Structure formats: C-alpha cells, structure tokens
Amino acid sequence: MKMDTAFHMAKAESESSYSNNSRLQRKALLETKQVLEKAVKEICSSVLPPKLVVADLGCSSGENTLIFVSQAINAMSDSQQMEVQFFLNDLPENDFNYIFRSLGNFKESIAAEHKGGTPPPFYIAGLPGSYYTRLFPSQSVHLFHSSYCLHWRSRLPDGLDVDAKPYLNKGNIYIAKTTTLSVVKLYQELFETDLLLFLKLRHEELVSGGQMVLTFLGRKNEDVYKGDLNHLCGLLAQSVQSLVHKGLVQEEKLDAFNLPVYGPSVDEVMAVVRKSELFNVSSRLFGSNWDPYDDSGDRVVQDSFQSGLNVAKSIRAVMEPLFASHFGGAMLDELFREYARNVAKHLQREKTMYSVIVLFLQRR
C-alpha cells in the first residue's frame, strides 16, 4: 500500500465527500480551541518573532482546515500586528484546490470578524508531503498543529502488506480478538518508530521554545484488544465478510487487507515522548460519540438506524480511497450500507465513543 497515492480523504463535494462528512473532526477542533489559543498567545508573548510561521500537518480539505486558521488568527490580539505565514500540509493526493478555491470567502469572513480592528496580515500556502519526512528548514516554524492524523501510520507494518504471505491477520483489517500477539507487536513497534521520527523531525524544524498541539485517536483502556478503533474496524471487517459471503469480494482480498492505523493509550504515547527527550509535554483525553451528530453526554442512542448511517458516512469519507484502491470501487456502496446496519445493531446494545488524545508539547 502506497500511502502517498492511496491515502487521502474522499474528494469533491459529493454526498460521500470528506468536506460534507467531517463534523466529527470539526468537533475536535472546537474541543481543543483553548489549547491552541494558549499556544498562540504564549508564542506571541515569549518568542516575539517578526513573523509567525504556523503549520497544520494533515490539513485535509474542506472548512475544517480554515477553522483552524481562523482560530489561530483570532488568538492574536490586535496589538500583536506581526505577519503570519500558514503552511497547510498533507499528502500529494489531498484536494488542495478545494482549499484554495475557498480562500476568497474566508478572507472576507476574517475581515468581518474583526470589525473595529485589523486582523494580522496572513498568508496561506499548500505544502504537499508526508509529515514523516522533513518538511521545513531547521528552526523555522513556531507552531505545529495536527488534528485527527497521528493515529495513521507511515505505512503498513512489515509482514502485513498485501504481497506478504502467508497472511498474518486473516479475516481482520486491524487488531481484533483473533489477532495474534506477534501482529499486535508489529503495530506497536511501527507506532513507536513513527512517533519517534515525527518528534525528531519537528524538533529540528521548530524554533527554540516552539510548540505543538497534536490531537489524534487513541484508547483509554491499556488492553490493546479493547480500544475504540478495534470495535469500529471490527464492524468494518464484519461488513467485508458479508460481501465475501455474497460473492462480491474474494476472501483472499480480505485476508490481504490491513489498515495502516494504530490507536495508542495515553501511557504508550507519553512513554515515547519521554524516550525522545525532546519536548516538555502535557496531555488530556476526551470522548467523542461515534455519531458525529450526537452531541449529547448521556449513554442513550435516540435513533440507532440514523446514527448507523451517520457513522458510516463519516467513516466512508476517510476510508473510501483505501478500500477502493484495494477492493475496487464497485463494492463501496454495498459495503457501507452493510456497515451502517452493523453499526446500528452495535449502538442498540452499547453507545460507544472515540477516545481522543490531545498533546501540548514545547520544544526543549
């Protein structure tokens, strides 16, 4: 699986596109708004750069990307009239043009929000490339932001790629009850390798005292078999199994497919950050309902059928290109119809939430 070509959010403005199905990610941006504001204010008051350089890693496309930019601009007081350069980074197949087409209206909205005041001069540029590689010159960035990205791995773990035989995780697409400990270890080792590399690269690119705000999916349970992503991906694997039984997908295709994702515990994350010895760090964990349109704090699912559809649309917007590149596009509609039914059945028994990890890091 080639991440730079196979992995991107569903494009355009269709019903299944990411831009129309990313409310879950928007809720995370709103949840972490105060953390971002704190980082911006501290940098502006302590680093005092002639201009501020801010990078959003894994920016994707759609309104969420510019919500982050707006939050960063609004966190700067009117007296802090330094210039701000934003770099929006994602893999080359990201729909950067969707963002660029939105900039005219976005700049008008920023000006309207600052009635009676003047927003800081700001500039926005796209930067294609993997955040598991160097992206910037040494000590050139003041703030890195990344939301709903770092649970994605740089690649599949060794031994789990489509060409690797025998298949080590047959019938599963992620860590499941039948996944062996040896496969679990492959995922965990790659997670540690990826995060250590990410921290090293960002440390080289950040100015002294530079900061990072990182938000990504994890798990609250230390048991690697009981993470929130395990349930979500398990239902997706079950949906593919249904298509195998209907003769729509070859069983070998399923056996060869694994997702390049890992949901760590907070302890796992903190252990890697401490091992790097590069950043001071604080963390928090919050929950977010599977259904992006369910903003309630109770344990009751009001309409499991509708919630199943909402979850399926949200996951399809993220997963569709990966599944299409491996299974082909003909099975996608039936797959996510089946997935919506399976999620609805699950939510009838148990209301489930994502566990979302937030890291606030400062360069040593």
Mean pLDDT of 55-80: 86
pLDDT for 159 equals 87
Could you count the other beta carbons within 10 Å of the beta carbon of residue 333?
11
In 13-95, alpha helices (H): 23-31, 33-46, 63-74
Burial 196-221 (b: 16+ CB within 10 A, else e): eebbebbbbbbbeebbbbbbbbbbbe
Q: pLDDT by residue (tens digit) across 284-310?
A: 999 999 999 999 989 899 999 999 999
Q: Which of 197, 359, 329, 175 has the alpha carbon at shortest distance from 267?
A: 359
Which helix (H) or strand (E) segment holds residue 101: the answer is helix 96-113
Summarize pLDDT for 200-235 with one digit per residue, the tens. 999 999 999 999 999 999 999 999 999 989 999 999
User: Does residue 324 surpass a pLDDT of 70?
Assistant: yes
**Between 299 and 279, the higher pLDDT residue:** 279
pTM greater than the 0.85 cutoff: yes
What is the pLDDT averaged over residues 158-184?
90
Rounded to an integer, the average pLDDT of 155-180 is 90
The band of 63, judged by pLDDT with boundaries at 50, 70 and 90, is confident
What confidence tens digit (pLDDT) does each residue in 20-53 have?
Answer: 778 899 999 999 999 999 999 999 888 766 789 9
Give the pLDDT score at 1. 60
Residue 297 pLDDT:
87
Chain centre to alpha carbon of residue 220: 17
Pick the range with the lowest mean pLDDT from 74-78, 172-176, 191-195, 285-289: 74-78
Residue 2 has pLDDT above 90, yes or no: no
Element housing 346 (H / E): helix 332-349
Average pLDDT, the chain: 91
Number of domains in the chain: 1
pLDDT band with cut points at 50, 70 and 90 for residue 116: low
Supply the CATH number for residue 272's domain.
Answer: 3.40.50.150
Residue 32 structural domain: 3-363
**77, pLDDT greater than 70:** no
Confidence (pLDDT) at 50:
77
pLDDT at 193 over 90: yes
CA–CA separation, 117 and 123 (whole Å)? 18
More reliable by pLDDT, 19 or 66: 66
- For the ranges 10-14, 90-94, 151-155, 240-244, the lowest mean pLDDT is seen at 10-14
